[in-house]
Structure 1
Amino acid sequence: MKLQRSKIDTLIFDMDGVITSEYIYWKAAALTVYELLYSHRYFGHQDLDKLWCRKNVSLIYDTVFCGGRTVTAVKHLGVNTNWDLAYLVFCVSTYLEPELTSFDLHHFEAVCMFIENIKIGPPALYTAAEGLAASASVVEIGYFKRTTGGLWKCLIECFQRWFHGDVEIKGLKLEEEPVLPLKEIEKTLRTLNQEGYILGVGTGRPKEEILFPLQMWGLDQYFDTKYCASYDEVSAAEKSLTPEQPLAKPHPFVFQKAAFGHLLSDEEIYYGKIPFQWPKKCLVIGDAPSDLLAARAGGFPFAAVLTGIEGKNARPYFEENQAELILNSMLELINNDN
């Protein structure tokens, strides 16, 4: 498949691993796991030195996520958000060693190996993770439940503090970088606009957190806000629709909302009122299995880019799952010959 204006008129971008680097999010997730496990405010026994943590964030990331190996394993399961990354690693860690005291690489290698051998994906994965943590801890029923339990609220609190910063520490968001040279990304988006494509966003990030880098880099001008959906829209739909399963990727809702939310209500999208032919005109661009699975579930053609955590090693997965386009990067959306 070649990108052709006669067949495709809208491009919906996942952001992390496509335009924005996800590395600082992984760092925030690692710090979140570290704080939940070791701070006396949560499940640990230490008086956490936040300045030391912030200074040694790379060490914490390399230890908690085994140099990125755990992140890769979690993404292979179809997990999309970095809140869920932290949630899954915390639950498995607690199951394997409920009274963790030392900051030990061997423990987190065991966590990684456990996750690498999991054979189920979301949403059943989250139910299983809740069960693992609950079996190893004496807490009230439902405490470890994703999205509604006490752990989830603490996890979000920790993550957002590390990402945004507070009176003690600078937020990691100040270190945000594009995944590719900014001038080349800008040129590609500008060219796609000039060629008549509508550009949108379908991301698991909260809206504020994706607007911050796009505005900082001057890229927001190329996206049509009517075609942008984030965690905020997904969360609002979950509250109003009360679906049996989460609407986060690999559910197609965020891409459907981005593409058709200006035309259809959340109820119409969720209950399948999207005309069959509409998704065929909209190309989803992503870097992860959860992006492909969500696009497939929504009937969208999918362009895989090899700028995620696995790089070119992700190509066999996208070939096996028949992505319509496989690109080295989003820069190849212009003048591509695939």
Structure 2
Amino acid sequence: MGSETELKLGLLPEYSEEVTALPLLEQLSYAEPERRTLTNIYYDTSAQDLRRARVALRIRRDGERYIQTLKSAGNGQAGLSVRNEWEWERPEPSLDTDLLREHLPPALCDDSLLASLQPAFETDFERHLWWLGGESEEGAWQVEVALDRGEIRAGERRMPLCELELELKSGQSDQLFHLALEIARQLPVQVCDASKAQRGYELAGAAASLPSVAPGFDGDATLSLVRLIGDCLRAWPVQLEAAMAGDEQALQALARTLDLQLVALESLPEVAEHCQVLISQYQRLRADVARAHDWRLLDCMPQAWQHTQRDAGLKLLQGLRHKTLPGQLALATGELLWQIVDDEAVDG
């Protein structure tokens, strides 16, 4: 069994060529970059029992190699996830279900269930790989950077795929945030907590609910605020993406989530004192969302005026796809949360 720690960034296909020109990819590389063509078939039952158990199963073709991979659901935030994975070389593109029994939940090891596994969706993409390394205060580190460009297919449905994956090979997780933030300062990226498998299932018809945030007290004020910051971070990038697609419910939820995030950040003394730049960036994003959302308070205005405001607000939100602010903001907040967790582990 291996453990995979990676940070995933989405970007518009029009910016993919600019990735290859990023200075850090040349400055920090310790090996020649590579290009690979990868075809992946994901398997599940017709009832999507594997998805419900939060595991993903695929056969990957990489050149002349076939690799069977089983992955558990990732734990993390701000695009950074840690998951378990098991890989087996296969002589042909077929499943060996006997290899899965030791690693699947007991409920999934039923013979009839395993026999009913069938292709659910596919991903087909070109991968451009760089291997980066260096020294930091915490020691040596190595990171694999992959630019994936292609598509996800489920039956007749298609979804474009364009994303960056930063996988930690050695060193501390902080290095992933450092590299990702450097990229986010130069290119408009979106933090992606959804894996390729999750998006494939959505394309295949699995409904994806809009995340919401419900503040709660956990017995300790600081712990409750930190948890709220994490809940808001998991929610607002997804809400923003849906709002940019014209979802009015998502826009309302986004405005509330950003308000909660600002209140939580400003209510933690150490954060409020040392993270003024982060707070001011949230205020900038909230101001843009306010311009797209808050005019609704004037429902007394004529319908023509309201339609004009709605169109202008949607155009403003869609313009954020080409801004570096949302990506930098999500990554900086994720890095802050990981630092808080590390500090608590040390204190503990």
Pairwise TM-score range, normalised by the shorter structure = under 0.3
Q: More helix per residue: 1 or 2? A: 1
| Greater Rg by CA | 2
| More strand, by proportion | 2
TM-score (norm 1): 0.28
Query: Scaled by the length of structure 2, what TM-score is found?
Result: 0.27
